[in-house]
Amino acid sequence: MPNIKSAEKRVHVTQRRTLRNASLRSALRTTLKKFEVTLSQNNVDEARQALRIATRALDKAATKGIIHRNAASRKKSRLTRKFNAMEKELA
């Protein structure tokens, strides 16, 4: 339990940020799962749209500090490779 007023404020700020980060991280995971589901349905147009949305969500998460920018880049690369493989398989 903090004794100093500024330390009390830091506790409140940290709790608020933790909730926000958890919410954004959860939304990011949901977006990535939606892409995976769309990809498994073998619909190229929907998968392309879902990839665009997932890529944007990863970029935003990296900008906000929810995930590291290298992690976002790695995930985008993997998603794109999966999409390209599926597209090549169907063509």
Domains of the chain: residue spans and CATH:
5-90 (1.20.58.110)
Whether pTM > 0.85 for this model: the answer is yes
Instruction: Give pLDDT tens digits for 16-49.
Output: 999 999 999 999 999 999 999 999 999 999 999 9
* Inter-residue long-range contacts of 75-78, CB under 8 Å, 24+ positions, other chains counted: 75/32
**Does the structure show a pLDDT above 80 at 73?**
yes
Look up tokens 């190229």; give the residue. 44
